Structure 1
Amino acid sequence: MKFEGVTVKELLRLPILKDAKVIGGEQGLDRIVRFTDIMEVPDIKGWLREGELILTTGYSIRHNPALLEDVVEHLAQVNGAALAIKPERFLSKIPQEVIDKSNLYHIPIIQIPPGIPYIDITYTIMEQILDRQAALLRRSEEIYKALTNLVLSNSGIQVMADNVAELVQCPIWVISSAGDVLVSSPADIPYVSTIKTRHWEVTVDKQFVGKLIVGKEQLDEFEQVCIEQARLVFSLELMRRKIAFDTEVRLRGSFLEELLLGLPLSRQEVEDKGSKLGLLPGWIWEVGMVEGDSSHFEEQSPFLSELNALIQRESEHRRIRVRSHVLRQGDRLILLLATGPLTDPIKKGSVGRDDVKEWPHILSSFLAGWSGIRVGFGSKCSLWEVHRSYIEARKAIFIGTHLDRYKAVFTFNDVEMFQLLLDASEQVPFDALIERKIGKLCLYDKQNGTDLVSTLYYYLATGGSLMETANLLYVHRNSVKYRLDRIKEISDADLENPLNRFVYYLCAAFYLLKKED
């Protein structure tokens, strides 16, 4: 708390100064006095302080009264309070130039009657200052105790805001570091940054978390005391919230780990724990797996911050506010995302709102601004089926990246057929078929470092479109045409027959899936 002090005008009302006269600088009577000192030497530059009242008889400058101009200038430079002079003994009069300068800088010059001892003046002034300071300290402690009790009794941040607004007699807002209004008083009053306000930073663990904003520009000492204590107490409240949030996130993360590992939890256990942690069992869920450069997944990284903000923003578009969750698992992220309420205990329906987009579509748009990030999505499921969706998400990203190295988002629905193909390969000897159909292409790629098998796969996957294949491979259309001629020449492939195209498509896909195993 910064103590302001007492104004010059207030000191002049004291009985000991009732006969003092202001002979210059009257416009500065509202200057604040925090200290008082006596001038014994003419050179006072360097030891004057802000808010200082200088007392002098003028003895040290009796031979050159014009030096008082320098004193006034030095007081103005340090934002001093006033100059009090007893001129009768050593100074016949105050030079008009000094008075003019005091009027220019609004530094009051006070003429003190000769019969008043310095000690009486300084003692009375400092007593007044200390009494005011003590009163403010007592009031500050009372306010702090009252507001702290609201925190300890868990009265809520709105009650705290209402109490502070009543003390300072104006609206207040607490704004998060992201610019969101955490609380306002009166409640729900919008904050407009263009209105005349003052603000103070609110920190938690030495980190900036928001601002306390007051809806007026000028505050008196009492109001400043209120705001300073309110800032500290809001920090306590936000810290309490942060601890509760971090604890809940940790518990939710542990619960999510249990679901992902497929631990033998009953449906009732999953529903009970999920409800307590904000993971609603009555909603459809889906798991996303994010892979890429691990630096993107560090806490406070731009990617992770933007991803969390996106998930929070999109989650709020659902019918009710529901908590999705982001969990770091080694060098990847696991997303547990809410899609919408279950329309049927067995058959899952859509969200029921046309303006709510699917998560894979949302992530595809988001990842357009980031390179080297891939996401696999499992199918939609109930909360107690999360383990299955997690396994599917892992398969989606594994199969998808093998089949299309340029794509960023894969769903299990897109690759399910290929998973069945991989599963069947353990029982069915596909290798002989692949060798017969595209064996020569595979050997040619290995010996020459070409991508003929990949080109064949993309060409068949796009329905035989040269342009789409060229776009997917980032090559010219003529390059695709040349590669197809080489493919037909090397493998003697008949790509005009629909059945042959299907067989070659499966063989190329299977080879790409198994190539790096």
Structure 2
Amino acid sequence: MENKPFTVERLLQLPLFNGVQVMAGKSGVSKEIYYVDNMETPTLTGFLRPNELILTTGYSFRHEPAMLCRLLDEMHRVGGAAVGIKTKRFIQEVPQEALDKSNQYGIPLFDIPLEITFIDMTHTVIDQILNRQAFLLREVREVNQQFTNLVLNRRTTELVVLIGHLLGCEAAVLNENKEVESCTTRFGGTDFVDKRPVQVGSKVMGYLAISRQLGEQEHFEEMCLDHAITVLAIEFTIRQSQQLQREREQESFLVELFSGSSHQEDLLRYRAQQLGIPLGRFFYVMVLQIRSANEKQGRDLYNQLVQKVNKPGVYTRKGVIINDSLIVLCSTVHDSAEKQRSEAEQVMSELAGACEELPAHPQLFAAIGGIREQLSDVPLSRQEAHKAMAICLHTQPKQKIVHFHEVLVEDLLLDAAGHPVLNALTSMLIEPIVVYDKEYGTELLATLSAFLRTGGNTKRVAEELFIHRNSVLYRLDRVSEIIQNDLNDPEVRFRLDVAMRVWKTKDIHSKAVL
């Protein structure tokens, strides 16, 4: 059987319908027929279907021929195919208004000779419809088999070409961001006219775009398009499964790497290369932490951040969530702390939007470990980043980004924690000021801390503390009196600086920096 639609025109060419006269609506003889029904009741609404052929004796119109006009109106509304009526049986003559509507709507209205029985007509029409449907089903099954084979063999580009060939247009597969993944040779990025979503469950994973709109009569093409979308859902499911598996393997590798459980450099580099972990000349670790967020909000935000850090197309970093921290392995060609800080600022800028979208506006902080040339040394960079984060939290809690090199002195003092000399320095130089602040409600210790941090610049101290410069000078005089030392003496300032750093880090436990 030829792959031709079963139209009204082909119906009238069948031997059984020899002698049938088309009274009106000849412009619609190309309409395809999908259904056939005999109608002898006056009910005209609710049961008609698109592309349906209605056969009738006109019995229900015998007393009111104008009802034929209502039938044509309803068929026009639903997209019916044609009406065959035995005019010589009951109505004898078709009203001119019905003929006019038939011509207006393009719904063929033909006269059926009395000698042709309805059972013969119905049988013949149904036989043609079933043959046509069987042919289409065989064709669609073969097409679907081709689609499935191409998807299972991961040949998506060939699948798109086949879709374009079957539909006679350009076609493309778009990802969920509507970016072209594969397409026919002449497909333009914005040339698509129709875009069908490819869903896996309730989630849209991508789209199938074509450069023309399918017509109402192109049912074979529509079925091909539906099957293409179905197999593309399989393709996206396979991709999703592979991506999830890859992400789990990457996560497992990063956890193992940061823990320092593996020290074989060659093996680490081989596994990193196989898993798409960034490899460069130098490596360092950045630790990101969220503050001022409730527990659930924090978990959700960490998940958003790790997705942004690991987004496709970024080949210089990979992150994993470990113990309420986002730990990121960074690859770089630079070996300076300044370049590291610049890269960290860029990452923080990219991630800031996720925090700003939340109602509580949680804050994001970053700490950077030192540069390493070997993957096996990355755990040391991670330890340094955690140390920097813990130290900065106690010494400069408002500072958003800290590099380990900025807290080297504090790290050294932590290693010497409990030394009698350090205890003596804090006892002589810091504790008296703390006691005074508690007794009189002053802020001498904060003023002294800013004074030491700014190198004795009283103007900057005043700006930082939002007080007048004279107030700064007064407070510093009180400090000198309490500790009985001259703050302008370089040796005194050095001892004060060491004592202040020891005091600020005294509550940091060793577990907090490992």
- Normalising by structure 1, we get a TM-score of 0.83
**Partner residue of 2:228 out of 205, 227, 230:** 230
Paired position in structure 2 for 1:362: 346
| Unmatched tracts of structure 1, length 5 or more | 317-321, 341-347
1:336 counterpart residue number: 329
Choose from 191, 196, 199 the match for 1:200: 196
For residues 230 and 263 of structure 2, what CA distance do their matches in structure 1 show? 44
Superposed displacement of residue 484, structure 1: 6.2
What's the CA shift for 1:463? Answer: 4.2
Separation of aligned partners in 2, 1:505 and 1:367: 35
1:216 paired with 2:212, answer: yes
Which string of whole-angstrom CA distances, capped at 9 and with x for unpartnered residues, describes residues 152-206 of structure 1? 3x3532233333333333322111112332222229x5511xx342122112354
Q: Give the match's secondary structure for 1:173.
A: strand
- Counterparts of 1:146 and 1:30 in 2: how far apart (Å)? 31
**Do structure 1's residue 476 and structure 2's residue 475 form an aligned pair?**
no
Match in the other structure for 1:345: none
How far 1:59 moved relative to its partner? 0.7
Number of the residue aligned with 1:149: 149
Q: Is the 8 Å Cα contact of residues 280 and 332 (structure 2) preserved in structure 1?
A: no
Question: 1:376 corresponds to which residue?
Answer: 367
Report sequence identity in percent.
Answer: 30
Distance 2:66 2:265 in 1: 93
Shift of 1:350: 7.2
Q: Structure 1 pair 43/265, CA: closer, same or farther in 2 (3 Å)?
A: same
SS in structure 2 at match of 1:217: coil
CA apart distance, 1:512: 2.5
Q: Give the partner amino acid of 1:107.
A: I
SS at match of 1:254: helix
> Relative to structure 2, which stretch is displaced further, 89-98 or 417-426?
417-426
Q: Structure 2 matches for 1:76-475, cutoff 5 A?
A: 76-152=76-152, 154-186=153-185, 190-192=188-190, 195-218=191-214, 220-279=218-277, 281-292=279-290, 293=293, 294-295=295-296, 298=299, 301=300, 304-305=303-304, 308-309=307-308, 312=311, 316=314, 322=315, 324-340=317-333, 349=335, 358-369=342-353, 370=355, 371-381=362-372, 382-427=374-419, 429-446=421-438, 452-464=444-456
Q: Distance in 2 between matches of 1:135 and 1:92?
A: 40
- The answer as to 2:474 corresponding to 1:485 is yes
Distance across 1 between alignment mates of 2:363 and 2:462? 21
Change (3 A) 1:277 1:516: closer
The one-character-per-residue Cα deviations of 1:324-366 (angstroms, maximum 9, x if unpaired) are 32212232222122223xxxxxxx7579xx9999431212323
Counterpart of 1:12 in structure 2 is 12
| Residues 504 and 13 of structure 1: CA distance in aligned 2, closer, same or farther (over 3 Å) | farther
Q: For 2:430, what is the secondary structure of its paired residue? A: helix
- 1:53 is paired with a residue of what secondary structure? strand
Q: State the one-letter code of the partner of 2:227.
A: Q
Cα deviation for residue 258 of structure 1 reads 1.4
Contact 1:144/1:230 (8 A) holds in 2:
yes
RMSD of equivalent CA atoms:
3.3
Deviation at 1:22, TM superposition (A): 3.3
- Which amino acid is 1:335 matched to? V
Q: TM-score of the superposition, structure 2-length normalised?
A: 0.84
Structure 2 CA distance for partners of 1:115 and 1:502, relative to 1, 3 Å:
farther
Give distance in 1, aligned partners of 2:140 and 2:462.
Answer: 73
SS in 2 for 1:12: helix
Residue pair 1:367, 1:408 contacting (<8 A) in 2 also: no
Shift of residue 433 of structure 1?
Answer: 1.3
CA distance change for structure 1 residues 205 and 46 in 2, over 3 Å: closer, same or farther? closer
Extract structure 1 runs of 4+ deviating beyond 6 A: 354-357
In structure 2, C-alpha distance between the alignment counterparts of 1:444 and 1:72, rounded to whole Å: 100
2:198, 2:74 → 1: CA distance?
Answer: 37
Question: 1:62 deviation in Å?
Answer: 0.4
How far apart, in 2, do the equivalents of 1:469 and 1:199 lie? Answer: 62
Q: Cα distance, 1:138 vs. partner?
A: 1.1
Structure 1 residues 72, 516: CA separation in 2 closer, same or farther (over 3 Å shift)?
A: same
AA partner of residue 124 (structure 2): T
Question: How much has 1:90 moved relative to structure 2?
Answer: 0.7
Q: Distance in 2 between matches of 1:491 and 1:131?
A: 105
- Residue identity opposite 1:290 in structure 2: L
Code of the residue aligned with 1:23 in structure 2: it is M
3-state SS of 2:379 partner: helix
Alignment check: 8 A CA contact 2:413 2:502 kept: yes
Aligned residue for 1:216, secondary structure, equals: coil
The answer (yes or no) to whether the contact 1:339–1:359 under 8 Å persists in 2 is: no
Residue 416 of structure 2: SS of its match in structure 1?
helix
1:116 partner SS: coil
CA distance in structure 2 between the aligned counterparts of 1:363 and 1:323, rounded to whole angstroms: 11
Shift of 1:488: 3.9
Residue 512 of structure 1 aligns to which amino acid in structure 2? K
The 3-state SS of whatever aligns with 2:66 is helix
Cα displacement (A) at 1:42: 1.0
The worse-fitting range, judged by mean Cα deviation, of 249-258 and 284-293 is 284-293
